[in-house]
A = this chain, B = another copy of it.
Amino acid sequence: MTKPTPSSTPPTDSLDDLRERLRRFAAERDWEQFHTPKNLAMSVAIEAAEIMEHFQWLTAAQSASLDAVARHEIGHEIADVLLYLVRLADVLDIDMVAAAREKIGLNAHKYPVRGGL
């Protein structure tokens, strides 16, 4: 587990910044004991289902033309998934941006662009 290094300036990268805020948030509330990888993995899945709830009975077309209120609510659900995901990667000491770039590379190889592009 990486430990936060005290710093006077906040990180400039948005994911680094969220990671630092979440570390502090958990530490201040003594919640690190609950943040096992297993519990955080469950939390990501639970919040992912809450995003889905907004789309459960919508047609594909309806899901693409939501009003501002719905988009604001869904933004909060997306945020919840992101926050638990950042926290999960942090407690596992995984660089998720590096992993994501690696995955895009693997997918580009798996699904090559056809034609003359």
Please list the residues of chain A having a beta carbon within 8 angstroms of any beta carbon in chain B: 12-15, 18, 21-22, 25, 28-29, 34, 36-39, 41-46, 48-60, 63-64, 66, 71, 74-76, 78-83, 85, 88-89, 91-97, 99-104, 107-108, 111, 113-114, 117
A41 to chain B, nearest CB (A): 5
Q: Which residue of B lies closest to A60 (CB)?
A: B36
Name the residue of chain B whose CB is nearest to the CB of A13. Answer: B14
Number of copies of chain A assembled together: 4
In whole angstroms, how far apart are the Cα atoms of A18 and B96 in the complex?
Answer: 11
A-B pairs, 9 with minimum CB distance: A49-B49, A38-B63, A75-B99, A79-B99, A45-B48, A79-B100, A79-B103, A48-B48, A38-B55
